[in-house]
Amino acid sequence: MNKYILFLIFPFLFLCVSCEEILFEEDISGETILLIAPKDSSVVESTAVNFSWNAVDQATSYRLQIAKPNFENATQIVTDTTVSTTNYRTTLVKSDYQWRVQGMNSGSKTAFSQARFTLKENEDFSAREVQLITPVDNKITNVTATAMQWQSVNGASLYRIQILDTNDKVLAEQTTEETSIQLTFPEGESFWQVRAENSTQSTLYSKRSIVTDTKNPKKPVLVTPANESVLSDATVSFSWTREAVAGTGEVDTLFVYSDEALTQLVRKEQAGSPAEVPLDASTTYFWRVKAFDKAGNQGEASNTFTFTIN
């Protein structure tokens, strides 16, 4: 009899140990973050600064802070952010700085590792860089008029903005003295780029991609279960057709209601046709399908069909 009790206990103990491993993250308070760049006392000759450090095992995020000129006598905390990667990029002005990083997980955190550096702006204006802010790279939008923003470049008298197609053909070009502008993008994928200029020189372009999709998905056509049909199986196979529209990815959403006014929603789920859905017997249902795309467009809902499960 005892051996059977042991067989029951051991799996239970194993299950408990496994649960602890899942629920509790390792204590990382004794770990040290190694800063890679900028090194302590280094001199950076670019306004675009790349910060990087070594990963800490079991750390799920990192807190990065940048102070001017240092944390003890800070006149400004330039950056205080949390990231999930081991690198961070930003644009700074000429000054002395101190930066530090702390690893974190849900239950613990490391001490800060910190370093000082001096930023001396490159005397060659053409070597400076325009740091783009918004929209993010590979942005998907359903509006054609989009606002763009970037950080200022010291010594710039104006900024040149271009919109290009996928073959790098210039579709539109504007200049501005400001660090933002709103332009109209064509349908589909295109690129936008910005460079800084003064009276004699210009920087290289900084470039990002954007996808514009303003077209709504087509109206789905319901197939089965047919309108006013009577079913004997409570697991219902829903099917429909819809013509695809060129643009961003499209998805269909199935809606099942228990009333004709379509106020009592029973099931709602993203699904492809056909979709198998378990429902209750002895009930009359009403269903329809509506399509959406990644840009946020939505099509017209299908007609509504009804059916009864005996």
Domain boundaries, the chain: 35-119, 125-212, 221-309
Instruction: Dump pLDDT digits (tens) for 60-75.
Output: 999 999 999 999 999 9
Would you say the CATH fold of 125-212 matches that of 35-119? yes
Q: Which of 40, 26, 13 is nearest to 115 (CA)?
A: 40
Instruction: Dump pLDDT digits (tens) for 219-258.
Output: 999 999 999 999 999 999 999 999 999 999 999 999 999 9
The least confident of 42-46, 89-93, 225-229, 261-265 is 89-93
pLDDT of residue 168: 95
Q: What is the mean pLDDT of residues 149-168?
A: 95
CATH for 35-119 is: 2.60.40.10
Instruction: Dump pLDDT digits (tens) for 202-220.
Output: 999 999 999 999 999 999 9
pLDDT of residue 46: 81
Q: Which residues of 19-47 are buried (b: 16+ CB within 10 A; e: fewer)?
A: eeeeeeeeebeebebebeebeeeeebeeb
Instruction: Quickly state the pLDDT bin for 24 (edges 50, 70, 90).
Output: low
Q: What is the mean pLDDT of residues 133-145?
A: 96
- pTM score, whole prediction: 0.68
CATH class name, domain 221-309: mainly beta
Instruction: Dump pLDDT digits (tens) for 254-298.
Output: 999 999 999 999 999 999 999 999 999 999 999 999 999 999 999
Instruction: Quickly state the pLDDT bin for 21 (edges 50, 70, 90).
Output: very low
**Whole-angstrom Cα distance, residue 303 to residue 93?**
60
- Rounded to the nearest 10 degrees, how much is the dihedral formed by the CA atoms of 25, 28, 29, 31? 180
Q: Is the pLDDT of residue 183 over 70?
A: yes
Share of the chain above pLDDT 90, in %: 85
Contacts of 247 (CB under 8 A, 6+ apart): 187, 188, 213, 215, 293, 295, 297
The least confident of 50-54, 90-94, 271-275 is 90-94
CATH class name, domain 125-212: mainly beta
